[in-house]
Structure 1
C-alpha cells in the first residue's frame, strides 16, 4: 500500500511521512524540488496546480495526506480545485485533509472550504482534520527569543482566551490513524482539551526552562510585523488579519464530540510534553 504525502518536507507533511515510513509503509513524498531527499520515501516533484501530475500520482495511492501551502488565496484556490479534480479522476482509497488551523466557516468560499467541500462531493472516503493554533507558532524567533532573553512569552491573543493548541506531531498522529481507518469520516478536531490560556502556556514554558515566564498579549499588527521578514509581507498580512478576526471570538476550543481524543483515542501533547518531544 502506498501513501502520498503533500508537502513531505514541510512542517506538517514531514512528520506524517516519517511516521508512515517508520511503520513500514510505502511513501511517495511530494515536493517542489526534484533533488529533495526524504528518508525512506520515493520523492516526486509535483506542481500542485498540474491536474495530470496529481492524477498520475494519486492513482498509486492507498491514502493521500493533503494540506494547502502558504500562498496567495488565488493560488490556494487553484491548488484546491486541482486536488479535488485529481481525487475525482484517480479515486485513491482514502484522503485526509488538514485545514492547517484555518476555520471551516459555513457558507465560506475560501480555498479551505473549496477543498473540504470538493472532497465531500467526490465520493472518495475522506476525513478533515481541524486544528486551531499550532504550538510551532511559538517557535517563531520573535516569540521564543523573547522567552529566552526576557522571560516573556508574547502572542496576539487575550490573556483570558482559551485555545486548544496542537502540534504538528499531533496532526501526524491523527493523520496516520485516519489513513488507516477509512470508516471514520467527517471532521476530527485535534488539540488540547480543556483549552489553555496564554498564562498557561507561559507557565509550561517556565517549567520547561526552569525559570519564571510571563505571558504578554500583543497586537495582531505586532505579530504581522515580526513574521514578515520570515514569511514575506503578503503572508504576514494574512497572519495579521487572522488574529484580528480571532480577537472577536470568545475562544478557540475544540469540542469533545468530534475530537481525536474521542474518535481516535489519541490525546494531543501538553505544551510541556511537546517542548520535551521536540528537544528544545
Structure 2
C-alpha cells in the first residue's frame, strides 16, 4: 500500500510521513526540492502548479494526504483546482485533506472550500480534517521570545475566547487513522475538547518553563506585522483578516459529534503533552 504525502518535508506533512513509515507503510514524499532526503519515504518532485506531476504521483496510490501551502489565496485556489484535476484523472483510493484551519463554508469561495467541495463532486473516498488553531503557531519567534524574555504569551484572540487547539502531530494521528478507516467520511474535527482560553495556555507554558506566564491579547495587525517576515506580506494579511473576523465569535471550539475523539478514537494531546513531545 502506497501513501502520497504533500509537503513531506514541511511542518504538516513530515509528521504524517513519520507516522506512516513507523507503521511500515510505503510512503511517497512529494516535495519541490530535488535534493530532499526523507527518512522512510521515496521522494518524488512535484509541485502544486503541475496537474501532470500531481496526476502521475497520485495514480495507483492507496491514500493521498493533502494540505494547501501558506501563499496568497488566489494561488491557493489555483492549487486546489490542480489537485482536483489530478484526483479526477488518477482516482487514488482515498484522499485525506487537512484544511489547516481555513473555513470550508462554500459561501466563502476560499481555496479550502473549493477543494473540500470538489472532492465530494469527484466521487472519491475522502475525509476532511478540520483543525482550528495549531499549537505550532506558538513556536513562532515573536511568541516564544516574548514568553522567554517578558513572561507573556501574545496571541491575537480575546482572553475569554475558548479554542480547540491541536498540533501537527495530532493531525498526523488523525490522517493515519482515516487511511485505515475508509468508512469515516465527511468532516472530522481535530482539537482539544473542552476548548481552552489564552490564559489556560499561558498557565501551562508557565508550568513547563517553571515561571509565571501571563496571556497577552494582541491585535490582528500586530500579529500580521510579526509573521509577515516569515510567510510574506499577502499571506500575513490574509491571516490577520481571519483573526479579525474571529473577534466577533464567541469561541472556536470543535463539536464533539464529529470529533476525532468520537469518530476515530484519537484524542489530541494536551498542551502540556505537546510541549513535552516536541522537547521544547
What's 2:27 paired with?
Answer: 27
What's 2:242 paired with?
Answer: 242
CA distance in 1, matches of 2:104, 2:67: 14
Would the aligned equivalents of 1:4 and 1:64 in 2 still touch at CA under 8 Å? yes
Would the aligned equivalents of 1:198 and 1:215 in 2 still touch at CA under 8 Å? yes
What's 2:154 paired with?
Answer: 154
Structure 1 segment 45-84 matched on structure 2, within 5 A? 45-84=45-84
The total of aligned residue pairs comes to: 280
What's 1:108 paired with?
Answer: 108
Cα RMSD, aligned residues only: 0.8
Would the aligned equivalents of 2:164 and 2:194 in 1 still touch at CA under 8 Å? yes
What's 1:40 paired with?
Answer: 40
After superposition, give the CA deviation of every residue in 1:141-199 in whole Å (9 maximum; x if it has no partner): 11111111111001110000000000000000000000111111000000000000000
CA distance in 2, matches of 1:74, 1:231: 15
CA distance in 2, matches of 1:59, 1:72: 28
After superposition, give the CA deviation of every residue in 1:87-121 in whole Å (9 maximum; x if it has no partner): 11111100000000112224221111110000011
Structure 1 unaligned segments of length 5 or more: list them: none
CA distance in 2, matches of 1:27, 1:5: 7
What's 1:137 paired with?
Answer: 137
**TM value normalised by structure 2:** 0.98
Would the aligned equivalents of 1:26 and 1:41 in 2 still touch at CA under 8 Å? yes
What's 2:208 paired with?
Answer: 208
Structure 2 unaligned segments of length 5 or more: list them: none
CA distance in 1, matches of 2:253, 2:46: 35
After superposition, give the CA deviation of every residue in 1:192-226 in whole Å (9 maximum; x if it has no partner): 00000000000000011111000010100011111
Would the aligned equivalents of 1:103 and 1:132 in 2 still touch at CA under 8 Å? no
- Which aligned segments of 4 or more residues in structure 1 are displaced greater than 2 angstroms? none
**TM value normalised by structure 1:** 0.98
